[in-house]
Amino acid sequence: MSNAAAKVEALHFPHRHLLTVEGLGATEINFLLDLADSAADDNRQVGKRRDILRGRTLINLFFEASTRTQSSFEMAAKRLGGDVMNMNVSTSSVQKGETLIDTAITLNAMRPDIIVVRHHAAGAVELLAQKVDCSVVNAGDGSHQHPTQALLDALTIRRAKGRIAGLTVAICGDILHSRVARSNIILLNALGARVRIAAPSTLLPAAPERLGAEVYTDMWKALEGADVVMMLRLQRERMEGSYVPSSREYFHFFGLDHEKLARAKPDAIVMHPGPMNRGVEIASTVADHSSSVIREQVEMGVAVRMAVLEALARNLPKR
């Protein structure tokens, strides 16, 4: 075992669940990132399968569709040797009137080891976690939190830049409805980054300065000297009423093109959590440019979820 691997092995993640990045310290975050860094390297080898979750069962419980996140958790669990069950909520008893608590009680009776939950309501995942005996991972709850997305973004930045502390990260777009933005702001601040947010005033929450980031309504100014430009999807499914005049006007002022990107540092990297609306929040020429690490984010998603599942598995009772 290498010194780096021995260092990771000696550390511990003392949590039963991963519901939020709030409250995680830099040591705990870096523990997960180091574990994920090792998993990312292993995933590029031929022999990818390990036995950390052998004999363990993971349930993917997604009340919102998300092919990318669900398949990422499934692949992560299988590479660790676990058994995976994907629950299709659209054809389940939930559609027949079963409550979230009823669902939790039913699943708990099946004795899973880990449940990964995505839900459209903020706080729903935490409620479910209170009703089960296994570990729970929040795969996104409403506009609240998406902890593994923030971790994979941090890992992508760290591998591209070699560090996170001292970097200027500009998060641009639909801040109001974005759990990705909230989770990233908290996590990046904990790791010593300087975080900026940029959005039209209609897509900023009330008192946005409370988020812990510098607030801009001028994207050009927000990108000045940025090391990382993180674009967000315009989440029309969460919008009631009109938040932007038109997609064309939104792109003119807040879509990332090469002209705006030129305000950032020459070696700035471009990120997007996906799925992308090309021509709305990001130009195709930027999304496919050499400065883009969007594909790397997808790759790091599997590695980070492997790290989270491994960390939680260490705390599971030995049967």
**DSSP symbols for 131-148:** T-SSEEEEEEETTTB-HH
- 197 with 241, same domain: the answer is yes
- 160 with 111, same domain: the answer is no
- 132 with 265, same domain: the answer is no
Binding residue ranges: 68-69, 96, 118, 146, 149, 179, 233, 274-275
The CATH number given to whatever domain includes residue 268 is: 3.40.50.1370
Binding residue ranges for L-aspartate: 96, 179, 233
**Does residue 319 lie in a domain region?**
no
- 229 with 173, same domain: the answer is yes
**DSSP symbols for 164-203:** -TT-EEEEES--TT-HHHHHHHHHHHHTT-EEEEE--GGG
Residue-level pLDDT at 194: 98
Binding residue ranges for carbamoyl phosphate: 68-69, 118, 146, 149, 274-275
- 181 with 106, same domain: the answer is no
Mean pLDDT by 10 residues, the chain (319 residues): 48 89 95 96 84 95 90 97 88 70 92 96 95 97 96 98 98 94 97 97 91 96 98 69 74 95 98 93 96 97 97 86
Is 163 strand, coil or helix?
coil
- 168 with 124, same domain: the answer is no
Residue-level pLDDT at 226: 98
As for how many domains the chain has, the answer is 2
- 234 with 191, same domain: the answer is yes
Which pairing describes strands 114-119 and 228-231: parallel, antiparallel, or unpaired?
Answer: unpaired
Residue-level pLDDT at 98: 77
Q: For residue 155, what are the domain limits?
A: 147-293
How many Cβ atoms are within 10 Å of 38's Cβ, its own excluded?
18
Residue-level pLDDT at 236: 57
Residue 190 tokens read as 């904990």
- 286 with 155, same domain: the answer is yes
Q: What is the pTM of this model?
A: 0.92
- 110 with 190, same domain: the answer is no
- 303 with 258, same domain: the answer is no
- 21 with 37, same domain: the answer is yes
- 152 with 284, same domain: the answer is yes
